[in-house]
Every structure is written in structure tokens, then in C-alpha cells.
Amino acid sequence: MIKIGFLMKAVVYRKYGGPEVLEFTELPKPQPKENEILVKIIATTVTTADLRMRKADPFMVKFLMGFPNPKKQVLGTEFSGIVEAVGSGVTRFKVNDRVYGPVGFKPGTYLEYRCFSQDSPLSLIPENVSFEEAAAIPFGGMSSLYFLKKGNVGKGTRLLIYGASGCLGTAAIQLAVNMGADVTAVCSGKNEELVKSLGAKAVIDYTKDSLKFYPGVFDVVYDTIGKSPFDESIKALKKGGIYLRAVHMSPGVIFRGIRAGLTSGRKVIGGTASELPEYIDHLSELAAGGKYKAVIDKIYPLSEIREAHKYVDSGHKRGNVVIKI
């Protein structure tokens, strides 16, 4: 049941487009069902997934969000917050627990309150992690953990991370180092100090250098942003190497991946990452031990959500952009 007249702040979008389509409004505050917790959201983020959903780019986004205009009108793919109420059947969490997690294919964290099933991939926030840091962990951390596992990254793996200074990239460097990999980061020269501080042993400045100068060097190439040159990435791999492409798998790339697998002895893996409970628990364990920390570029209040989207749209963010609700 929803209490009549009890409203919460929210940001919605009623049509696809630029940051200007984001609107401030009020929505009814939800109440938890038997197996749900009600979370007061403290922080969320602006991710590339939010941009794709806001712009309907690629077009297939409309099949998820609604056609011709979005039916699911609240964006936001990850959150941190405080448990305010629990349903009668909840055993995993209690009131006042600090929690965080992803929302998968059910976006909607640009608001003050949301209910979650206790069976969702949620985790307690480690004591040494702030709400802002926790909100920035799930999307990049869980996505990169999924793909690095797909690439069998482990001790001694020579790994190239393309887009290493972004959300997924900064997560991947830290995770791969913890797995024992030897990491080479691809980013602009201005971000060299950042990626090395996270554990990258070598840096390729894409504005001055090219992957064509590294034939047969790497066991795995992980493209976090969909901008790595396909043929050069394949050639940079050793025989039997794996080319990982997070999400960015157009029909053309899929066809080229199949062909590469048949003709070059290299494997191409892409698609959408799975958000498994054990992934968020693993990230929590690393964060608690000081072995993983979400990189935060800027923090905006909810009132400046459009400005935050404009900044992420620019393509110049480092790590994560956080929104304080």
C-alpha cells in the first residue's frame, strides 16, 4: 500500500533526448511488501547506461524503456542508502543498515526512496566506505568483474584495458591487480598518473600511440568503452587470446567477432554483464580490506542532475560521477 499524500522528490524523463529532458517532480513514497526493504537513497550516480537510456542510443533501448516515449521514467543504475523499513518476512537486513547495490534492468534511483527485494544483489556498506563511494562501486565493479572472469584473468595474465580511466576501467585495473594480472592501461596522457596509482604497470597514450605497435603481446584485451580499434585489438592478442567488449556489441561487431574466432584463433566476448550476489559481496570484501576504492571525479546534488548529465555526456569524466540525493 502507498500512503496517500506522502510524497518524495524524484527526477523523471518523459521523452528521450539531452539532459534538458530531465524533470523534477514528486512521486508517492512506496511501502515495502513482505519480502522487501524500504531504502532511503543517499547517493546514486550518472553512468553511461543512464545516458544510453536517456537518449535511446542505441535504438533498441526503447524496447527496454518504452516506445515511443519512456514508460520507465526514472533513471539511475546503482545506489547507496539506509534501510528505513522492512517487510514482515525480511531476515537479511534490519532498519538503519547501510546498504548499496545495482538495480539491473529495473532502473530508478533518481529519487528519495525505493523498495528492494531482500534477495536482490545488495550488500552492507563496509564501515570504511562512504555513501558516495559505495554508490559508485556496483556498475563499474560488477561489470568489470564479470568480464575479467569471462576472460579467465588471473596470475600472470598480460591484460590490456582500453578506456582505463573511466568507470569500468578504473574498476578493472584494481580488480585485475588483485587477480595477479600484469595491467597495461590505454588512456590519454593526462590520466597516466591516475591509472598507475591504481596498479597499472604500463600506459599507452592513445593520442600518441597505437595498438598496431603491440602485435601478439597480450593475453586479454578488455575494451570498457567500445572505442578500441577492432582489427588492431585482435592483432595485439597472443594466439588463443580473448578480446572482451563490455556491452558494445553491434551486429557488425558480432559478425566480425565470429569471423575472428574462425580465422585468427582469438575469441571475442561481449554482451551485458550479470549482476550476481557473489560479485557485490566480493567487492565489499575488497573494499573493506582497502584493496578496492571507487574513483570519484565529481559529486553533484540532485538539484544539479542536468549539469551532471552534461558533464558525463562530454566524455571527459574520470571514474565516476556521483549524485547526492
4: pLDDT strictly greater than 60: no
208: pLDDT strictly greater than 70: yes
Distance CA 245, CA 150 (A): 11
| Residue 249: how many other CB atoms lie within 10 Å | 16
Residue 2: per-residue pLDDT: 41
Distance CA 44, CA 156 (A): 35
Distance CA 149, CA 141 (A): 12
Place of cell 561487431: 253
Both ends of the chain: CA-CA distance in Å? 24
Phi, psi (degrees; rounded to nearest 5) at 213: -90, 10
Residue 254: per-residue pLDDT: 67
**Cis peptide leading into residue 58 (ω within 30°):** yes
Segment 193-210 mean pLDDT: 96
Output 72 or 260, whichever has higher pLDDT: 72
Output 89 or 4, whichever has higher pLDDT: 89
Segment 232-240 mean pLDDT: 95
CATH architecture for the domain at 140-271: 3-Layer(aba) Sandwich (3.40)
252: pLDDT strictly greater than 80: no
- Domain spans of the chain? 7-137+294-324, 140-271
Phi, psi (degrees; rounded to nearest 5) at 309: -65, -40
Residue 255: per-residue pLDDT: 65
Distance CA 58, CA 47 (A): 15
Cα distances (Å, whole numbers) of residue 165 to 160, 205, 265, 311, 320: 13, 11, 29, 15, 10
Q: pLDDT band at residue 105, thresholds of 50, 70 and 90?
A: confident
Q: pLDDT band at residue 261, thresholds of 50, 70 and 90?
A: low
7: pLDDT strictly greater than 70: yes
Q: pLDDT band at residue 102, thresholds of 50, 70 and 90?
A: very high
Residue 169: per-residue pLDDT: 98
CA-based nearest residue to 134, from 104, 166, 101: 101
The structure's pTM equals 0.93
Phi, psi (degrees; rounded to nearest 5) at 75: -90, 180
Residue 77: per-residue pLDDT: 97
1: pLDDT strictly greater than 60: no
C-alpha cell belonging to residue 29: 513514497
CA-based nearest residue to 272, from 122, 79, 58, 75: 58
Could you report the per-residue pLDDT of 30-77, keeping only the tens digit for each? 999 999 999 999 999 999 999 999 999 888 889 889 999 999 999 999
262: pLDDT strictly greater than 90: no
C-alpha cell belonging to residue 308: 551532471
On average, the pLDDT of the chain sits at 93
Q: pLDDT band at residue 274, thresholds of 50, 70 and 90?
A: confident
Segment 97-120 mean pLDDT: 96
User: What CATH number was assigned to the domain covering residues 7-137+294-324?
Assistant: 3.90.180.10
199: pLDDT strictly greater than 80: yes
Segment 197-217 mean pLDDT: 96
